Structure 1
Amino acid sequence: MPANKKYLTKSIHQRIAKITAAILGGYILTMSLHLAAATWMDKTTVMITSTFTGFIMWVALMIVAFLARNGWKVWGLYLLLSALCAAVIYLGQNLNPSI
């Protein structure tokens, strides 16, 4: 049973944006969130946990990228959240240097 044509993305640019946001953007956001958690909590525990939760979160972010109508908005959201995680990492390294 083929897919209904009205639900498929017609623009090649949107298709590329969704695919790259799903694969690259989802991975970047997943790893930056786990690194941000590692700066505030026990690094060993977070890194061991990230082997399981990282894959689950990456797949969930892939699904979210394909559910959205606009791939560029997904890229913007993923980059904004990654920048927020980078700020948390920066603050965590400066405020908690011993952890």
Structure 2
Amino acid sequence: MSPLSEAIERLEAKYPGVLELGAKFEYIESVVRELPYQLPKETYELYLLTDGLAARVLFWGGHLLCLSEAVDAYKRLQKYNNFGVVPFRKG
């Protein structure tokens, strides 16, 4: 078992029901097909184990997006970056 698998298992044991079920490999491939780069094997492993958090309050200041939301967020950021603009405001 990999360190990531062990960490996911511990997280699920401590917070039952907080993780979504893992995605299928074929689904991951279909979602990431549009990305201009290849994801590392650890990313595949993570999303095979869990496709995001059911409860979005586990991590302070953020959460683990499901794969489709993560790719959509990347695309939105790229749209802004193509114009040399950062989509965040200070304050």
Q: Same fold (TM over 0.5)?
A: no
Q: Could you say which structure has the higher helix fraction?
A: 1
TM-score, normalised by the number of residues in structure 1: 0.35
TM-score, normalised by the number of residues in structure 2: 0.37
Greater RCO (CA < 8 Å, at least 6 residues apart): 1
